[in-house]
Structure 1
Amino acid sequence: MACNLVAELRDHGDIDRDRLAARFAHRCEPYRGYGAGAFTILRKIRQGTPWKEAAGSAFNGQGSCGNGAAMRIAPLGAYFVNEPETLTVQAIRASEVTHQHPEGIAGGVAVAHAAAIAAKARLTGTGRDLLGGVLDHLEEGSFVRKGIEKARKIRTAEEAAYVLGNGSRVTAQDTVPFTLWVAAHHLDDYRKAVTTCVQAGGDVDTTAAIVGGIVGRPPLEWVAEREELPDWVRR
Structure 2
Amino acid sequence: MTADHDPASRLARALASLRGLSVGDALGAQLSTPGMVGWLRRRELPPGPWRWTDDTEMACALVAVLAARRRVDQDELAALMAERRDPERDYGSTVTQVLDAVRAGDDWRTASARLFKGRGSWGNGAAARVAPLGAWYADDPAQAVHQAEISAYVTHQHREAVVGAMAVAAAAALAGDPDGPKTGAELLDGITALIPRSAVGQGVRRARDMLDYADSSTVAAVLGSGRRTSAQDTVPYALWAVARSLGDWEETVRITARAGGDVDTTCAIAGGVAAARAGGAPPADWEADTEPLPGWVPGSGS
* Structure 2 residue corresponding to 1:143, chosen from 169, 185, 199: 199
**Shift in Å, 1:158:** 2.4
Partner of 1:222: 286
Cα deviations by residue, 1:102-160 (Å, 9 ceiling, x for unpaired): 0000000000000111111xx348614111000011112x1101111111111232221
What is the SS of the residue equivalent to 2:122?
Answer: coil
What is the SS of the residue equivalent to 1:168?
Answer: coil
Task: Give the residue type in structure 1 aligned to 2:74.
Answer: R
- 1:106-185 alignment runs, 5 A limit: 106-120=163-177, 123-124=178-179, 127-128=182-183, 129-140=186-197, 142-154=198-210, 155-156=213-214, 157-185=216-244
**Shift in Å, 1:6:** 1.1
Residues in 2 aligned to 1:226 and 1:80: alpha-carbon distance in whole angstroms: 26
Residues in 2 aligned to 1:229 and 1:124: alpha-carbon distance in whole angstroms: 29
**Does the 8 Å contact 2:102/2:111 carry over to 1?**
yes
* RMSD over equivalenced CA pairs, Å: 1.3
Query: Percent identical across equivalent pairs?
Result: 44
Task: Give the residue type in structure 2 aligned to 1:180.
Answer: L
**Are residues 1:186 and 2:245 paired?**
yes
**Does the 8 Å contact 2:175/2:181 carry over to 1?**
no
Task: Give the residue type in structure 2 aligned to 1:7.
Answer: A
Residues in 1 aligned to 2:195 and 2:250: alpha-carbon distance in whole angstroms: 28
Residues in 2 aligned to 1:181 and 1:192: alpha-carbon distance in whole angstroms: 12
* Structure 1 residue corresponding to 2:141, chosen from 67, 75, 84: 84
Partner of 2:65: 8
**Shift in Å, 1:196:** 1.5
Aligned length: 232
**Are residues 1:232 and 2:289 paired?**
no
Partner of 2:48: none
Structure with higher helix content: 1
Residues in 2 aligned to 1:39 and 1:125: alpha-carbon distance in whole angstroms: 37
Question: Kindly tell me: are residues 153 and 60 of structure 1, through their superposed partners in 2, closer, same or farther at Cα, counting changes over 3 Å?
Answer: same
**Does the 8 Å contact 2:62/2:133 carry over to 1?**
yes
Residues in 2 aligned to 1:12 and 1:180: alpha-carbon distance in whole angstroms: 28
Runs of 4+ in 1 over 2 A off after TM superposition: 123-126
* Structure 2 residue corresponding to 1:100, chosen from 157, 167, 183: 157
Partner of 1:49: 106
Task: Give the residue type in structure 2 aligned to 1:223.
Answer: E
Partner of 2:36: none
* Structure 1 residue corresponding to 2:80, chosen from 18, 23, 26: 23
Residues in 2 aligned to 1:119 and 1:162: alpha-carbon distance in whole angstroms: 29
**Shift in Å, 1:85:** 2.4
**Does the 8 Å contact 2:181/2:187 carry over to 1?**
no
Residues in 2 aligned to 1:46 and 1:189: alpha-carbon distance in whole angstroms: 40
TM-score normalised to structure 1 length: 0.95
TM-score normalised to structure 2 length: 0.75
**Does the 8 Å contact 2:174/2:181 carry over to 1?**
no
Partner of 2:21: none
What is the SS of the residue equivalent to 1:18?
Answer: helix
